[in-house]
Structure 1
């Protein structure tokens, strides 16, 4: 891949032909963002202990007194008011936390892709180089991974504490004030937690991935899990061959298999899950326990309840979407959704696209890959509808909560070339939506071929 720059927006749409790198970019996003959020607090505590242990005891005592007085006054000190030794503790803490994250990122990339990171380069006669860069704007920090024939090289630029401090809000400071002073260094630690939170504030709370193969995985997930469980007792006794699965797939399977029947979090997107059940599935997706106590996913209709493995591809395609909306996803999360249109009739694609627009408006971040003109057109309709009044939009069949502002949408066109794939950010027009040049070209080619066929038939008669 020669060029790919993707910014984190409420809705990110990747379009382009097959084998053009859309899934690779989505997978790299998942690896970077999920690992950044997972363990962020633990990384800070490790870094804090390292920075803290080099400070003399009398200075630590003075630091606690300084912060306790500032908290009691309900006043966040100006950065220049902080004693230098306190600034040193926090500057080193945020630096070490970023370094620890950067050091684990290569391993996470290999896990989610199921291949050594060097294999992510484009295969050509001449060896190529590649790089992955993760950039935060507020506060400013960068991680750069250079991939060549040798071991990957990781470089980073840590945030400046002055900028991190300035981004610490009144609400952040209030959280420190509300915490009881439990120990001598509690103020130092609690303030450090908030500063670390500021460093990664642009990162989604959680990142989840719905892979393109979810229909087949839903059809066979119990078989896969059962096989691994049966063979696990023979580990060490026999040479057990375990099939290699990418981290994206194993995370998806784990998420589904670990769902508990009867447990439902009120913070989920229950309303949208029910819309899919009512308007598309015409039945319900629910969890129960089988005879062995394992979770079982069933599809309930007026004709009875059926295991998802015995249902149509449409049901097994949407079942995990319903389960994620109901049990997994929360406001502020990122959902990476590969080919949402897979195995779905165009009418169903339209319903799902409307639901995606609603979810984005409710605070879910979505990155999706699509080859569907129908799905993209419905998103475009939602964008165009945001430029008119609610009443006029409703007269065209667009509900107010479906309207989607163009400023909340980014679109990327993946175009293969001799040198690799070039990813171009497309303009999203409030009055037209996302350009559909690739789809339009194919439609024109088919139309021209149809005209030629009619001409040949007429000539033959």
Structure 2
């Protein structure tokens, strides 16, 4: 029996979500059903919850929670009493809130997840951090397919590949967590060129993406020419 006012208005917000779900295409319906389930899912704790904590402390500088209505909320570290709805938060919070929820409540070893451009809305420092966190998740059993156009992400992946060849004590001396390391035979890289996917060779020092390297080389060459004109 649906809890409703005499005039027929539905009082239960979760029931309202269920009623509205049928009006939308399947992907949106799935999202609405997920919102309906969040209040229950938040009671679960994943073995990867520490990665959610790391994302919150290192990148978001605040905490993600779930309201009784199943909506995500964000509380900045400098104002824990503020429970901000997602549409009021910064783009980085919107982008990573679902990743935080996944790691805290849903993630399990042998999961397979797809992440499209994790660098979206992130400062270069934070791009390096999330690359390391994803590498740690992969080391602990989650299979990750990721697309990126970020030179920062690619270079950090190369660092983590090189890290796998260092003794743990040397890695720690350099400020790296050995759990970030990715062995060359544990990662696959593909370059999508128009309608084809070309495998990219991976060595002990990492890999090279020519289409991105060419742009970086042109930027450096232009910079040198401009310096020469200004200072020459």
The bucket for the TM-score relative to the shorter chain is 0.7 to 0.9
Q: Secondary structure of 1:375's match?
A: helix
Deviations 1:44-86 (CA, angstroms, capped at 9, x unpaired): xxxxxxxxxxxxxxxxxxxxxxxxxxxxxxxxxxxxxxxxxxx
Counterpart of 1:404? 182
Q: Output aligned runs, 1:219-258, within 5 Å.
A: 229=19, 244=25, 247=27, 251-252=30-31, 254-258=33-37
Deviation at 1:325, TM superposition (A): 0.8
What are the ranges of 5 or more consecutive residues in structure 1 without an aligned counterpart? 1-224, 233-241
- The equivalent residue for 1:426 is 200
Asked if the contact 1:267/1:330 (under 8 Å) is kept, the reply is yes
Task: Name the structure, 1 or 2, with higher relative contact order (CA <8 Å, separation 6+).
Answer: 1
Give distance in 2, aligned partners of 1:451 and 1:397. 32
TM-score (norm 1): 0.43
| Distance 1:231-1:435 versus aligned 2 partners, 3 A rule | closer
Q: Secondary structure at the match of 2:53?
A: helix
Whole-Å Cα distance in 2 between the matches of residues 404 and 307 of structure 1? 36
Aligned to 1:287: 66
Residue 256 of structure 1, CA deviation = 4.4
Q: Relative to 1, partners in 2 of residues 1:454 and 1:342: Cα closer, same or farther, differing over 3 Å? A: same
Aligned ranges for residues 190-209 of structure 1 at < 5 Å?
none
Q: 265, 268, 293: which is aligned to 2:44? A: 265
Can you list the C-alpha shifts for 1:381-427, whole angstroms capped at 9, x where unaligned?
111111110011111221011111111100001112xxxx2211111
Q: Residue 261 of structure 1 contacts residue 288 of structure 1 at CA under 8 Å; is this kept in 2?
A: no
Aligned-pair CA distance for 1:377: 1.4
The number of residues matched between the two structures is 215
Q: What are the Cα deviations for residues 126-165 of structure 1, in whole angstroms up to 9, with x where unaligned?
A: xxxxxxxxxxxxxxxxxxxxxxxxxxxxxxxxxxxxxxxx
* Cα distance in structure 2, aligned partners of 1:323 and 1:372: 24
User: 1: CA distance between counterparts of 2:25 and 2:228?
Assistant: 53
Q: Indicate which of 200, 206, 210 corresponds to 1:437.
A: 210
> Structure 2: which 5+ residue stretches go unaligned?
1-14
Give me the whole-angstrom Cα distance separating, in 2, the residues matched to 1:456 and 1:253: 58
Q: Compared with structure 1, are the counterparts of its residues 257 and 352 closer, same or farther at alpha carbon in structure 2 (3 Å cutoff)?
A: farther
Secondary structure (helix, strand or coil) at the match of 1:330 reads coil
The alignment's C-alpha RMSD in Å is 2.5
1:454 Cα offset (Å) = 3.9
Question: Residues 250, 439 of structure 1: CA spacing in aligned structure 2 closer, same or farther, 3 A cutoff?
Answer: farther
Counterpart of 2:164 (choices 358, 382, 386) is 386
- Say if 1:441 and 1:295 are closer, same or farther in 2 by CA, change over 3 A: same
Following TM superposition, the consecutive aligned residue runs of length 4 or more in structure 1 with deviations greater than 6 angstroms are 225-228
User: Which residue does the alignment assign to 1:317?
Assistant: 95
Tell whether the 8 Å contact from 1:337 to 1:368 is kept in structure 2 after alignment. yes
Q: How far does residue 257 in structure 1 lie from its aligned partner after superposition?
A: 4.3
- Counterpart in the other structure of 1:374: 152
Change over 3 Å in CA distance of 1:307–1:373 after alignment to 2:
same
Structure 1's 406 and 282: CA in aligned 2 closer, same or farther, altered over 3 A?
Answer: same
